[in-house]
Amino acid sequence: MSPRQVVLGGAGFVGSHLCDHLLRRGDEVVCVDNFSTGRRSNVAHLVDHLRFTLIQADVSAGLSVQGPVDGVLHLASPASPPDYLARPLETLAVGSEGTRHALELAAQRRARFVLASTSEVYGDPDVHPQTETYWGHVNPVGPRSVYDEAKRFAEALTMAHHRALGTDVGIARIFNTYGPRLRPDDGRVVSNFVLQALRGEPLTVYGDGRQTRSLCYVADEVAGLVALLDADITGPVNLGNPDEHTVLELAERVIALTGSRSAIVHLPLPADDPTRRRPDIALARRALGWEPTTDLESGLARTIASLADVSGLPRPPGLADVRPGSVGGPVGPASTTARGEGPPHA
């Protein structure tokens, strides 16, 4: 029997690549998503797959999955700042009630639970680079708190489940991740800059652009999540690429790679925007044997090609031959007897 993994938020950007990866290695996958910030098109290539089941459901309302479950990977949550700022109550609900339902499913089936937490738990950090032992510097009442505190609560609930009930858990602190299937309108820095450059519009740098981020290519991030699923470590593990750049450098890199003639304009910095962010990944290297392998240049090239294709824009001449789907190759056998899409609580 193949291991059977339940991926909550599996039709999202990271979740859909995770479904691909798990199917590719032979696992069975149950994807649960309410399509609030994700897209059906992200998993359209999987719905006829023999080992794939798609359930449309809001995990904040409840979670019922029939059959055996070996792993529950909880990625359901708006993740882009404009997305979670537009859905403040839903974001808090999925971090709290959604996480509770996910943990209960894992505990009932004696499955391993992996929480997709975030570098945002460190807030605007006064320790750099961020290690898992750092407790963070978060504004609990600012606009971003709906996301930051939801994830901090989710981490607390995950640890409480583990301590009180012995639930087998792992916590991934995911740092900024990018790649094909980013929603073109999600408002994150990579999708914004790439689309603006491809359209010849000015790139919107918020603030002076000296704030930093460390960008991880999605295939690397997914490999880290799967390593954590397969491991037996509990506490939080940073999963990100320590290659740190200012936002202004990123804008210049995107302009160069697209060959765009776009200018750069500066807009106001959003409230509580972290000034710097870089993961210390010593723990992931040691405990998971994991580290990212994709450099920014090649990751951006695939992302630019993919965003151009899905937006109906011409690819930059230098990226004509880039294969945006080359995140891992084919996912395996399709079937005419696939279970396809189940009822809301199949």
Contact status: 109 vs ligand UDP (CB under 6 A):
no
The C-alpha atoms of residue 64 and residue 152 are separated, in whole angstroms, by 25
- Give me the 16-45 binding string for ligand NAD, x by CB under 6 A, dash otherwise: ----------------xxxxxxx-------
Contact status: 300 vs ligand NAD (CB under 6 A):
no
Strand, coil or helix: 21: helix
The nearer residue to ligand UDP, 15 or 240, going by C-beta atoms, is 240
Q: In angstroms, give the least distance from the CB of 116 to ligand NAD.
A: 4
Inter-residue contact 147 to 122 (CB < 8 Å): no
Looking up tokens 């996910």, which residue turns up? 102
The nearer residue to ligand UDP, 43 or 121, going by C-beta atoms, is 121
Contact status: 247 vs ligand NAD (CB under 6 A):
no
The C-alpha atoms of residue 201 and residue 161 are separated, in whole angstroms, by 49
Contact status: 273 vs ligand UDP (CB under 6 A):
yes
Backbone angles phi, psi at 62, to 5 degrees: 160, 170
Among 31, 55, 73, 94, binds ligand NAD (CB under 6 A): 94
Tokens linked to 249: 């450098």
Near ligand NAD in 164-223, by CB under 6 A? 174, 176-177
Task: Name residue 137's beta-bridge partners.
Answer: 123
Near ligand UDP in 71-90, by CB under 6 A? 80-81
Contact status: 183 vs ligand UDP (CB under 6 A):
no
The C-alpha atoms of residue 101 and residue 72 are separated, in whole angstroms, by 11
Backbone angles phi, psi at 73, to 5 degrees: -110, 115
The nearer residue to ligand NAD, 118 or 262, going by C-beta atoms, is 118
The C-alpha atoms of residue 108 and residue 85 are separated, in whole angstroms, by 33
The C-alpha atoms of residue 279 and residue 174 are separated, in whole angstroms, by 9
The option from ligand NAD, ligand UDP, none interacting with 145 (CB < 5 to 8 A, set by class) reads none
Tell me which residue of 62, 56, 64 sits closest to 108, measured CA to CA. Answer: 64
Q: Is 122 a catalytic residue?
A: no
Q: List, in order, residues 6 or more apart from 20 with CB less than 8 Å away.
A: 46, 222, 327, 328, 331
Among 37, 167, 211, 241, binds ligand UDP (CB under 6 A): 211
The nearer residue to ligand NAD, 202 or 246, going by C-beta atoms, is 246
- DSSP at 110: T
Tokens linked to 145: 């708190």
Q: Sign of the CA dihedral 301, 302, 303, 305?
A: positive
Q: In angstroms, give the least distance from the CB of 260 to ligand UDP.
A: 15
The residue annotated as part of the active site, out of 84, 122, 147, 178, is 147
Contact status: 239 vs ligand UDP (CB under 6 A):
no
Contact status: 78 vs ligand NAD (CB under 6 A):
yes
The nearer residue to ligand NAD, 171 or 319, going by C-beta atoms, is 171
Task: Name residue 65's beta-bridge partners.
Answer: none
The C-alpha atoms of residue 301 and residue 316 are separated, in whole angstroms, by 10
The option from ligand UDP, ligand NAD, none interacting with 171 (CB < 5 to 8 A, set by class) reads none
Among 4, 5, 6, 14, binds ligand NAD (CB under 6 A): 14
Interface residues with ligand NAD (CB under 6 A) are 9, 11-15, 32-38, 58-60, 75-79, 83, 94, 98, 116, 118, 174, 176-177
Interface residues with ligand UDP (CB under 6 A) are 80-81, 176, 188-189, 192, 204-206, 211, 213, 247, 269-270, 273
Q: Which residues are catalytic?
A: 147
